Amino acid sequence: MATYSRLPGSVALITLHNPPVNALSAAVRQGIVDAVQRALKDPKVTSVVICGQNGKFCGGADIREFAGPMLGPPLVPMIHAIEAVDKPVAAAIEGVALGGGLELALACHYRIAHSKAVLGLPEVTLGLLPGAGGSQRLPRLIGLTAALDLITTGRHVSAAEALKLGVLDQVTDSNAVDLAVEFVRSVAGQPLDSRRLSTLPCPCPPDVDSLLDKVMSKVRQRSRGALAPVACVRALRAAASLPYAQGMEKERELMATLFNSGQARALQYAFFSQRVVGKWSLPSGARWDNSTARIISKAAVIGLGTMGRGIVVALALTGISVVAVETQEKQLAEASRVVPAMLQREAGRRRLATPPGVISFSSNLQDVSEVELVIEAVFEDMSLKLQVFKHLSSVCRPGTLLCSNTSGLDIDQLAAVTQSPGLVVGMHFFAPAHVMKLLEVVYGPRSSPEAVATAMQLGKRMGKVGVAVGNCPGFVGNRMLKPYLEQANFLLEEGATPRQVDEALEEFGFPMGVFRMSDLSGLDVGWRIRKEAGLTGPGVESTRTRQGRRYSPLPDQMCEAGRLGQKTGKGWYQYDGPGGRVARSDPWVHIFLETYRAEHGLVARSITLEEILERCLYALINEGFNILQDAVAAGPEDIDAIYVFGYGWPRHRGGPMFHADQVGLGRILQRLNQHSHPDVPHLKPSTLLRRLVAAGSPPVQKWREFINKERVHS
């Protein structure tokens, strides 16, 4: 709701009340409409201030209401009514003014903010556009070029930047409400025409069409297949070329299309998933709200290869001092040179308010004895990791948390060789570790709630989306990736080309198809893992069935031919030499595939894009259902957050489990059955999927409850 009070003198104060962010729910909108009427009618009131309770102006429309029917007064007429008030109205912005919150402020005649406030129109990230006049008022206030940037990216800006852009009239380090009250008193009675943004022309550069075309092609390229950024540019074109009323009509039309699109639903689901995963729980009953995290100020990283270096930077950026240990002299020397430069670059980019932590480099594991938490990032080799964990357990102070960045090895086995198994967890970062948002926090059967809470809290400090997952080979992300990669290789055997497979996946929205991705990360990574698992290597027969299952030796043969991807200039594609980035089809690969098929008596067939997508994606989704059934992930939101933040799953498709819901569980089941092969257990539909279909395919939001009920009954 919103409350109305008349301050001594002549100022009416309207305060939004809807914790935690004063979102514009039906009750709040009704409260504002009523309060504005009162201020208008009260002859003693000469000016008005709108603010939010608890130091937060407004977080925008209430996203939770989007799923239901529209109730209460609509936003657009409310905003028009505020702009039309004939007494000066100021927005006193503290905390946040986002989305509809900023649109409310743009309807006011003046905007005064606290210096720590954050402003923005992030609707595009929810699959929408600023649909309460924001797409038409903001460009009239700050010009088309700046508005295009803010609206198509949805980025948040500081009060200082907003002042510079002209969004704000004043910024203060003290109380923004007091200043706004004082300010509106001083301007009472002055003409307001020039303060009503809807009446102003939109400042545009002379080459407006070419600017709009340029931005349109940039957003199309950046957000493959996403509708909202394109609609934002269209709305801004209307602001630049049409009178306000017609621009508003265009905004309304575009908003209606977006609002009803599956993409908006997917992006709103992704918004809430990101918040759901923060509220983790363990099978033991320990939860985010009943477990205490330790505050870490000194940490160590062991192994300064690709991952270790990024992890050192991520920790130091939060102000933690880091002991960075590497045994190979050459690697240590290179890391001592490269890591400080990475840190400086990243600190500059993020404009850190506090200085980064101090990094000390060492070749001696003894030097970690004083730290509170260690992250191990040595080679993916169990015997080496066991050795390191044993050593750490004897060197570190009792109570030190020992974490591993393993991509999928058994956390419990590592815990077993330490003196305090409860203090061992996986902290699985993604490359590059200082950039990628995802952190899988892997708990073993003995991991203590305190260890999980500390790893999750540390992830949050580093700006990561932490997801707590159970301990199994590959955890969640890599376990699901395995059947996806397998299907991609089988498709090559059956007649597809790497480019065909990649194009289907890129068309779906992945930034990179599976083969381009393998070339980027290096084909030898998987090769080493398969050798360790006894699937390939000397003495292993070159058949298409291994360990009782269909197996494609194609990627092993690529490695044996020295084609490791970009690092060798050749992989599934060819590049302009080692380290090259531009992938070109390679006739060698086509001949290699033809020879392989001939050797194995395979006849190439034409494979549709639909089959490529179904085989790759449904195999991955099916494994997601197995993971839910095994309780390795607490709910579909956890899996979806992992895939969106760590594996390039297009955000506007919500995540693999959300996608399954959108496609229809019945269809997924039917297609899995259709493509199933007795040798490929990953395409055998998961029992949970079958049960959900038998139960009438409840929506994704109900799966957690369904799984928990099934677990109780079984």
123 is catalytic: yes
Q: Residue 95, exposed/middle/buried by CB under 10 A (0-12, 13-18, 19+)?
A: buried
C-alpha 94/C-alpha 100 separation (Å) is 15
Only one of the segments 146-154, 197-205, 324-332, 535-543 lies at the binding site for ligand NAI (rule: CB under 6 A); that segment is 324-332
Q: Residues with Cβ < 8 Å from 433, sequence gap 6 or more?
A: 307, 309, 310, 311, 313, 314, 405
Q: Which is nearer to ligand NAI, 79 or 476 (CB)?
A: 476
Place of tokens 């905004």: 251
Comparing CA positions, the residue from 707, 623, 609, 709 lying closest to residue 660 is: 623
Residue showing the smallest CB distance to ligand 3HC in the complex: 99
**How would DSSP label each residue in 23-84?**
-B-HHHHHHHHHHHHHHHH-TT--EEEEEEGGG--B--B-GGGGGS---SS-HHHHHHHHHH
Q: Which is nearer to ligand NAI, 381 or 710 (CB)?
A: 381
**How would DSSP label each residue in 535-597?**
SSSTT----SEETTEE---HHHHHHHTT--BGGGTBSSSB-SSTT----B--HHHHHHHHHHH
Computed on alpha carbons and rounded to an integer, the radius of gyration of the chain in Å comes to 28
Q: From the candidates 65, 83, 94, 103, give the one annotated as an active-site residue.
A: 103
**Residue 328 interaction partner, one of ligand NAI, ligand 3HC, none, beta carbon < 5-8 Å per kind:** ligand NAI
Q: Does residue 89 belong to the site contacting ligand 3HC (CB under 6 A)?
A: no
Among 36, 128, 171, 304, binds ligand NAI (CB under 6 A): 304
List alpha helices for 188-243, DSSP H.
Answer: 208-222, 227-241
Residue showing the smallest CB distance to ligand NAI in the complex: 305
Q: Does residue 139 belong to the site contacting ligand 3HC (CB under 6 A)?
A: no
Only one of the segments 190-198, 367-375, 378-386, 676-684 lies at the binding site for ligand NAI (rule: CB under 6 A); that segment is 378-386
> Can you read off the two tokens belonging to residue 120?
């923005």
Among 331, 369, 420, 676, binds ligand NAI (CB under 6 A): 331
Residues 194-233 that bind ligand 3HC (CB under 6 A): none
Among 31, 52, 88, 131, binds ligand 3HC (CB under 6 A): 131
Place of tokens 């630049």: 240
Residue 357 is classified by DSSP as P
507 is catalytic: no
Place of tokens 């504005």: 36
Residues 431-470 that bind ligand NAI (CB under 6 A): 431
**Residue 568 interaction partner, one of ligand NAI, ligand 3HC, none, beta carbon < 5-8 Å per kind:** none
**Residue 477 interaction partner, one of ligand 3HC, ligand NAI, none, beta carbon < 5-8 Å per kind:** none
Place of tokens 């494609």: 552
Only one of the segments 158-166, 325-333, 498-506, 542-550 lies at the binding site for ligand NAI (rule: CB under 6 A); that segment is 325-333
**Residue 59 interaction partner, one of ligand 3HC, ligand NAI, none, beta carbon < 5-8 Å per kind:** ligand 3HC
Among 12, 13, 23, 424, binds ligand 3HC (CB under 6 A): 23
Residues 90-109 that bind ligand 3HC (CB under 6 A): 96, 98-100, 103
Q: What pairs with residue 301 in β-bridges? A: 324, 375
Comparing CA positions, the residue from 222, 261, 259, 219 lying closest to residue 236 is: 219
Distance (Å) of CA 278 to CA 13, 287, 431, 456, 468: 36, 10, 22, 8, 9
Residues 382-401 that bind ligand NAI (CB under 6 A): 384, 388
Q: Does residue 59 belong to the site contacting ligand 3HC (CB under 6 A)?
A: yes
Quote the least distance from Cβ 97 to ligand 3HC, whole Å: 10
Residues 515-554 that bind ligand NAI (CB under 6 A): 521
Q: Residues with Cβ < 8 Å from 6, sequence gap 6 or more?
A: 12, 13, 42, 44, 45
**Residue 709 interaction partner, one of ligand NAI, ligand 3HC, none, beta carbon < 5-8 Å per kind:** none
Plot region of 99 (φ>0 → left; ψ -120 to 50 → alpha; else → beta): left
- Judged by the rule CB under 6 A, the positions of this chain that interact with ligand NAI are 302-308, 325-328, 331, 377-380, 384, 388, 405-407, 429-431, 521
Residues with a catalytic annotation lie at 103, 123
- Can you give the binding site for ligand 3HC, defined by CB under 6 A? 20-21, 23, 59-64, 75, 96, 98-100, 103, 122-123, 126, 128, 130-132, 134, 275
